Structure 1
């Protein structure tokens, strides 16, 4: 199963969430960044329609797989600033 870890961090004079080294837009407050990442996480948990997926593997062979649309990633928020949400200089 895929796991996404989001981290709440000071960024660009405000706050952002970061995943895989990529930052979100900046938010004015810690709480706004936390709320934004919670929305993103909730959207990731929505299932999708069942589909057949076709792709070419590393050997050039075409493969078809069925996806039931229910395999959602595990998500986690790491917030080391929750107790003291003030950006440090």
Structure 2
């Protein structure tokens, strides 16, 4: 299972959360960034609908698969402050 970590960090003139190398918008307060990260992490775990997908591989072949909507990552929020 994939694990996604949201890290609370100082960013620009405020605070943000960071996933990998990507920053969220900047929040004026640490608490605002923490609340936004907790909300984003919770929403990431919500199952979606099962749906069909199509994709082309590097060799030019097309594939069709049924993608289960309950395949969601584990999430956590890290806050060193």
Could you say whether these structures have the same fold, taking a TM-score greater than 0.5 normalized by the shorter chain as the test?
A: yes
TM-score by length of 1: 0.83
What are structure 2's unaligned runs of at least 5 residues?
A: none
Question: In structure 2, what is the equivalent of residue 43 of structure 1?
Answer: 43
Alignment length (residue pairs): 81
| 4+ runs deviating over 4 angstroms | none
Alignment of 1:37-76 (within 5 A): 37-76=37-76
- Bigger radius of gyration, 1 or 2? 1
Give yes or no for the alignment of 1:23 onto 2:31.
no
What are structure 1's unaligned runs of at least 5 residues?
A: 82-89
Counterpart-to-counterpart distance in 1, 2:6 and 2:46 = 18
3-state SS of 1:25 partner:
coil
CA RMSD of aligned residues (A): 1.1
Question: In structure 2, what is the equivalent of residue 85 of structure 1?
Answer: none
Counterpart-to-counterpart distance in 2, 1:44 and 1:21 = 18
Which digits, 9 at most, give the CA deviation of each residue in 1:21-77, with x for residues without a partner? Answer: 111111111111000011111111111111111101121111111112000011122
